[in-house]
Chains A and B, each alone.
Chain A
Amino acid sequence: DGGITQSPKYLFRKEGQNVTLSCEQNLNHDAMYWYRQDPGQGLRLIYYSQIVNDFQKGDIAEGYSVSREKKESFPLTVTSAQKNPTAFYLCASSDRDRDFYSNQPQHFGDGTRLSIL
């Protein structure tokens, strides 16, 4: 079955440490996204990529970095510059709109919960 795989499910970060969250999709989708979810809040966009080797900042990109070297992979690095990294992180992907009004929905992974040690 096609889908999005996020790993690990739980991750702990020490002070001053960078950690990388994995996101892999086998849906052959062009676009991929990273969202952050804090308790009692909606999802906020961190980074997104519409095509391989290209990505853009979302609303809360500070302290995060990404790469898109392969179509199926979009890893997120939480750097030591992100002072409040404790949150639930969701990766999503979507197919390119076939035409202006084709409305391709986003598909989500199961998420990674990141905590500070």
Chain B
Amino acid sequence: AQTVTQSQPEMSVQEAETVTLSCTYDTSESDYYLFWYKQPPSRQMILVIRQEAYKQQNATENRFSVNFQKAAKSFSLKISDSQLGDAAMYFCAYRRIGGAQKLVFGQGTRLTINP
């Protein structure tokens, strides 16, 4: 079974600085998808960024980018120019290709932004 591990329960960063959230996963599949979701205090789950394992190029979405290391099974999220609105729980998630589109989530990292 696939597993996703986020080893940082909490992180904090100064406003306008850069922070990196870590995620590792375990799978025997060669093709799969990886996601970062954001859950603000409102408890909504918001898709931040996604990566296809068969693409070598790291995904970017404005201030959010990933460092995808397939051999190391690592998928970190970098947030540049941190803003107060970035404060939230961040979840890393895995999904295999084909079949049911079930997501396997990590435990989450709570990110605090210090003004």
Contact = CB atoms under 8 A, between A and B. Distances in A.
B45 interface: yes
Main secondary structure of the interface of B (DSSP, over half): loop
A105 B47 CA distance: 8
B100 A50 contact: yes
Interface of B: 4, 6, 9, 31, 33, 35, 42-45, 47, 50, 52, 54, 91, 97-98, 100-108
Given A41-B107, A43-B91, A90-B45, A101 B102 contact: no
A97 B101 contact: yes
Contacts, number: 61
B75 to A, nearest CB: 14
A72 B105 CA distance: 25
Interface in A63-117: 88, 90, 92, 94, 97, 100-101, 103-106, 108, 110-111
Interface string A45-69: 1001010000010100000000000
Given A42-B107, A44-B105, A105-B50, A31 B45 contact: no
A40 interface: yes
A110 B42 contact: yes
A101 B54 CA distance: 9
Interface of A: 31, 33, 35, 40-45, 48, 50, 56, 58, 88, 90, 92, 94, 97, 100-101, 103-106, 108, 110-111
Given A100-B98, A106-B103, A41 B43 contact: no
Contacts of A103: 33, 50, 52
Contacts of B103: 33, 43, 45, 92, 106
A90 B39 CA distance: 12
Contact of B102 (A33, A40, A90, A104): A33
